[in-house]
Structure 1
């Protein structure tokens, strides 16, 4: 069984993330969405809220694709998380060249830590390349419309979290 790991903070999950998840399901038999706890980033949503949003969105994707999708929080090294879930491949989404530079370094480090785990990069669809969770939160905080960047359910939770409902 080919198991893939798609890690991220997902604060919140965007249509760009959903696009990468959908496309990653074509590469694996089981996809684990690794939700990084990463306290240093100071996420808007708690870990539990991010996991809930991901699970809600992934139920739909699993039915659509026929692939098992599991949401798995983690706080250890990415390569250790990959080992924990039995992943042979790490899936990373790229939006721009700046993403690649960071990811290139991470792949090199992960290969030293465990050369049996491969990393696959998926380019975001052109219509999703500008979407970043950080920008979505900023736009929403400043009363902008983020409905083009997130699902209706995530939009509702984001507005509620910001006291904008």
Structure 2
């Protein structure tokens, strides 16, 4: 950096479905907020994935988790929803980095391919990977939902607030499953 020039604000987007947000996601948000000046948690509105919660419900859960998150006073974390190509969202937000969390080798293979595609779309935007905390590596939203559906203990994987929301939604799903179709 040249003396006399103002440093550019480092803006990153952490995209995902967050259906629901897990402790693994919260860990990546907390750590990402330490690295970037402005971290945008971008919740994908992708009906093709058949999310359990609406994008507004997921955004509300993420906002709740961020409010109780202990971060530096300088950390700026924002939550948005998007229903476009990720790269268009990144460009519209003025971000220069896509932040992705990795749990396992299988995640890396998929994420590496996505990073390559994204680079072909806009090579000025970097992808940065953060490894999940070792304790949190096995947590996946898909598995948490399955445990919740069968009334298993989900408290090691999500916050109490999210656990309550997820358990309520799964009670509704189980009731729906018991109603015979006409």
Do these two structures clear the TM 0.5 threshold for a shared fold by scoring above it? yes
User: Residue 11 of structure 1: CA displacement?
Assistant: 0.3
Tell me the matched-pair count.
163
Match for residue 150 of structure 2 among 109, 122, 142? 142
Q: Which residue in 1 is equivalent to 2:82?
A: 74
Instruction: Classify the secondary structure of the residue corresponding to 1:12.
Output: coil
How big is each residue's C-alpha offset from its partner over 1:19-75, in whole Å with a ceiling of 9 and x where there is no partner? 0001111210000000001111101111111010001111223x5332111101011
Q: How does 1:31-70 map to 2 (within 5 A)?
A: 31-61=39-69, 64-66=71-73, 67-70=75-78
Q: Rg larger in 1 or in 2?
A: 2
For 2:31, what is the secondary structure of its paired residue? helix
Between stretches 11-20 and 52-61, larger displacement belongs to 52-61
What does 1:1-150 align with in structure 2 at a 5 Å threshold?
1-61=9-69, 64-66=71-73, 67-150=75-158
Q: Distance in 1 between matches of 2:77 and 2:20?
A: 18
SS at match of 2:71: helix
Cα offset for 1:6? 0.1
Structure 1 moving runs of 4+ over 4 Å? none
Please, what TM-score do these two structures have when normalized by structure 2?
0.87
> 2:42 aligns to what SS in structure 1?
strand
Contact preservation (8 Å) 1:22, 1:65? no
Gaps of 5+ in 2: 1-8, 173-182
- For 1:65 and 1:18, the matched residues in 2 are separated by 15
Structure 1 alignment gaps of length 5 or more: none
Q: TM-score, normalised by structure 1?
A: 0.96
